[in-house]
Structure 1
């Protein structure tokens, strides 16, 4: 099969197309999925450098998210059949930047007929991260106010959509006028430009009741300010961070706030099943609608990896068309 093979850790240039990769084998407890589209996540780039904890053995095919059709089913798999349209994320099977991927059914959900395969590839890490943060770790409640930093990115858009479906007041930030419009179009009540001087003051003015929840996509830049804005006993979910953070713990003590990290790799089986049910319902009833910002062919995986990190302002999801 054709796919991306990484033979050494490094920059985007280590992502090379290999037309002779073996179709991955699967066990009686797994699915073989014919991939139509794969999602690009910032974490994919961290893994590629070899600096992410527990790096894969070389060579490897990268990618956590994909959408496609079930090609074969292990004899112990009960909830899927050949021909099902599905999406998958975070499987410990094989990478998704290839024509086929293997996954445990625990990490697979039904796509149905409403969304395209590109949109299906846009669900994965962004929507599961948004759900786990808001519903499992943060336990958001209707009527609360949430600030979503970097709301025009894939996780940001997912968070805005989910928060609005739950009845929260949503404040988002973005770095460009187009990004701000995208966030607003996806339901945010207020949107501010995080490149603008004094935008934090505008956020607090828009939320005189205080901010109950902050979803932080770049903790090394914003966390110290978040601790000043968060309400007494508020909650901060750290979804992204690219460097060390210096904060004064007394700020956490004074606010009695909860600061929690978020990573899908520690999700329990019960949590996966809860999230699958919620996201499948979101697809069926219409609140879940990934915004696909850019599409690249498989051969342009290096460009996709560069773009997801180095951009003037994120605009939804980047996908590879397999």
Structure 2
């Protein structure tokens, strides 16, 4: 089969190479899946750089989520039916940027019928992260104000739609007019172009000086620091990631004085500590997709041979919504 391989760490466009390798063989509790679509995530770039919390052995194939067709299942994977259309996370070091992938049976879930292959591939990690961040960690309530950083990006766009579905007023922060247009189409009530506006002032004006009840931050750096200046009394800042490359050092005295919470979110831990919650979340996301409340914004669909450049564009922050590698 054809698969992208990383044999040394570095920038994605430099270290990813498309090679012919042997077809993978599933274990007893695994399934073999023909990849129909694989969403590009920022962690794919971190994997290439050797900077992700999980470091698969070299060589490896990036790609952490997919939509595909089950070809075969191991003898212990009795819940996985061959021929079914599913979403899943591949078993590294054999990632999703390949014609075939092996997945654990426990990670396999029915692909929502309301979404096509590319949309379904982009649903799982980003929307699960958003749902757990907003509901399990921040307990977002209808009528509250949600501030989303990188609101037109892959993770942020999911949080915008989930926030609107929960009845929140959503303020989206983006970088540039094209991303501002995308954020408006996603449903943001207020859009701030950080290159031209001070989002702290906009949030205070939009909330009558109260501030945002919940901040969803996959960026870190200045985005986090400035968010502490416009967080409401009993507000919650959800730390999702550090796409800016800068990990902030929070002033705990400031959190004490202003009475707000700083909440970390590592979604992958739920696979270990509460897998039933992930299944519950998938059912909820499938329902929301069927109702049209959520629909991944797929801005680019690229062929398999374009995966390396796609990962690099996501790493560079030049994309809007989700970029998906399609193998239809």
Task: Name the TM tier (shorter chain).
Answer: over 0.9
- Look up the match of 1:254: 257
Q: CA deviation at 1:84?
A: 1.4
TM-score, reference length from structure 2: 0.92
CA distance in 1, matches of 2:91, 2:135: 22
Comparing 73-82 with 52-61, greater Cα deviation is found at: 73-82
Distance 2:142 2:224 in 1: 24
TM-superposition CA deviations, 1:235-277 (whole Å, max 9, x none): 1111121223244321111122211222222113122212221
Contact 2:66/2:90 (<8 A) preserved: no
Post-superposition shift, 1:92? 5.5
Query: Per the alignment, do residues 187 and 90 of structure 1 end up closer, same or farther by CA in structure 2, a change over 3 Å counting?
Result: farther
Contact 1:234 1:255 in 2 (8 A): no
Give the drift of 1:29.
1.9
Deviation at 1:91, TM superposition (A): 5.0
Relative to the length of structure 1, the TM-score reads: 0.93
1:231 has 2:215 as partner: no
Residue 96 (structure 2) aligns with: 96
When structure 1 is superposed on structure 2, of 62-71 and 49-58 the one drifting more is 49-58
Pair 1:219 & 2:203 matched:
no
Counterpart residue number, 2:65: 65
Q: Please say if 1:321 is aligned against 2:326.
A: yes
Indicate if the aligned counterparts of 1:110 and 1:280 stay in contact, CA closer than 8 A. Answer: no
Shift of 1:58: 1.0
Where in structure 2 are the equivalents of 1:174-193 lying within 5 Å? 174-193=174-193
Report the counterpart of residue 14 of structure 1 in structure 2.
Answer: 15
Distance in 2 separating the partners of 1:252 and 1:167: 26
Runs of 4 or more, structure 1, over 6 Å off, are none
- Counterpart selection for 1:309 from 292, 309, 315: 315
**How much does 1:104 deviate?**
1.9
Deviation at 1:39, TM superposition (A): 0.8
Residue 27 of structure 1: CA displacement? Answer: 2.3
Q: Identify the range of structure 1 (164-173 vs 111-120) with the bigger mean alpha-carbon deviation.
A: 111-120
Corresponding residue for 2:199?
199
Q: Structure 1: which 5+ residue stretches go unaligned? A: none
Q: How does 1:57-136 map to 2 (within 5 A)?
A: 57-89=57-89, 94-136=94-136
Q: Are 2:306 and 1:300 equivalent residues in the alignment?
A: yes
Q: Partners in 2 of 1:78 and 1:184 — Cα distance?
A: 44
SS of residue in 1 equivalent to 2:139: coil
Deviates more, 1:84-93 or 1:122-131: 84-93
Following the alignment from structure 1 to structure 2, what is the Cα–Cα distance between the partners of residues 165 and 2?
A: 40
Gaps of 5+ in 2: none
- Specify whether residues 252 and 8 from structure 1 end up closer, same or farther in structure 2 by C-alpha distance, changes over 3 A only: same
Summarize the Cα distance change of 1:155–1:244 in structure 2 as closer, same or farther, 3 Å threshold.
closer
Q: Residues 75 and 18 (structure 1 numbering): CA distance in 2 closer, same or farther, change over 3 Å?
A: same
Question: 1:228 touches 1:251 (CA, 8 Å); kept in 2?
Answer: no
Q: How far apart, in 2, do the equivalents of 1:176 and 1:218 lie?
A: 16
- Please, what is the CA RMSD of the aligned residues? 1.8
